[in-house]
Structure 1
Amino acid sequence: MKNLFDAAVADEVKARLQRLEPQSERLWGQMTVAQMVAHCAMSMQWAVGDTVPEKGPLPARVMGRLVKPLVLRNDDLMRKHSPTIKSLIVTDERDLDKERVRLAGLIDRFAAGGAVGCTGNPHSFFGKMTPEEWAILMYKHLDHHLRQFGV
């Protein structure tokens, strides 16, 4: 399964990230391309432990623990219009180039850190996760949003 601990996968994601343009049109959702890159960087900050995810509502946490094995068991794509926790919603204007540099740096840091550099904090929806689960989820999340903008 693809995951961000694999250097080749991380490089492929960063190459796709570089193909985004300010005029890239979204295929679904509401964020601009710069807001999406900022959103992805914020989720990567969870994975490297820079920020601690807040707990989601109890019903969502229960649902997350039930669906986690389904989401992480194979290379199936994340569904369009998947819900987002409020703290990761970006509504202000962002600079695409700055956000792209920030996200690429976080991807590099996560990939280079491997399992020991990964957070031990639980995910707000999926709960407790192994470093390998974080690596799979972060790849799937980035892939989802890069596909959202056609790259």
Structure 2
Amino acid sequence: MQDIFSPLDAQQYIDRINRLTPETPRKWGKMSVDQVLAHLNVSYETIYEPGKHPKPGFIAAFLLKNFVKKKTVNELPYKQNIPTAPMFIMKGDKDFEAEKKRLIGYIQKTQQLGREAFDGKISHSFGKLTAQEWNNMLAKHLNHHLEQFGV
């Protein structure tokens, strides 16, 4: 598992993102490359723009913490074509360059804040996470979608 807090690993993600173009074809799934960039930004929006997405209700929060969290924060890669949570579903065209720039900025900010800023930080969907759980969640989500587009 790559370390999203490492300057070298963060730069490798950025380099992979910079290899994407608006025409990069997907290997699986339904989202276009611009939609995937916007989709990836949602994870960071929940960290850096906390009011942008409504928090899950009581029942949804219970289910997320008790059934979804383990699969999301472990080191096992996501399988292809897994269901997408409603707030991550992207409709319509997105601005490729703007979404790419935002994603790179979020990756840089996360790396610069470092592991210490994330240890014990509350997740929008899963409650308190360790820095390693944050890393696993963010890194494997990036890897999953960058592999989806062959970069």
TM-score category of the 2 structures, normalised to the smaller one: 0.7 to 0.9
Q: Quote the offset at 1:142 in angstroms.
A: 0.5
Structure 2: gaps spanning 5 or more residues: none
Q: Within 1, Cα distance between the matches of 2:36 and 2:58?
A: 23
CA contact (8 A) 1:38 1:90 kept: yes
Aligned length: 148
CA contact (8 A) 1:4 1:111 kept: yes
Q: Quote the offset at 1:84 in angstroms.
A: 1.9
Q: What residue identity is the alignment partner of 1:30?
A: K
Give 1:99's aligned residue: 99
Q: Within 1, Cα distance between the matches of 2:49 and 2:116?
A: 14
Q: Within 2, Cα distance between the matches of 1:57 and 1:22?
A: 39
Give 2:49's aligned residue: 50
CA contact (8 A) 1:3 1:138 kept: no
CA contact (8 A) 2:26 2:32 kept: yes
- How does the TM-score come out when normalised to structure 1? 0.83
Give 1:3's aligned residue: 3
Give 1:142's aligned residue: 142
CA contact (8 A) 2:39 2:89 kept: yes
Q: Within 1, Cα distance between the matches of 2:147 and 2:58?
A: 28
Q: Quote the offset at 1:114 in angstroms.
A: 1.1
Q: Within 2, Cα distance between the matches of 1:147 and 1:108?
A: 20
SS of residue matched to 1:92: coil
Report the identity percentage.
32
The 5 A counterparts of 1:56-135 are 58=59, 61-62=62-63, 64-66=65-67, 68-69=69-70, 71-74=72-75, 76-118=76-118, 120-124=121-125, 126-135=126-135
Q: What residue identity is the alignment partner of 1:109?
A: K
Using a 3 Å threshold, how does the CA distance of structure 1 residues 61 and 143 change in structure 2: closer, same or farther? farther
Q: What residue identity is the alignment partner of 2:63?
A: V
Q: Quote the offset at 1:55 in angstroms.
A: 1.7
Q: What residue identity is the alignment partner of 2:128?
A: K
1:33 aligns with 2:33: yes
Q: Within 1, Cα distance between the matches of 2:81 and 2:49?
A: 26
Q: Within 2, Cα distance between the matches of 1:56 and 1:98?
A: 31
- How does the TM-score come out when normalised to structure 2? 0.83
Residue by residue over 1:53-87, the C-alpha shift from the partner in whole angstroms, topping out at 9 and shown as x without a partner, is: 6226736743653464455443x321112222211
Using a 3 Å threshold, how does the CA distance of structure 1 residues 111 and 138 change in structure 2: closer, same or farther? same
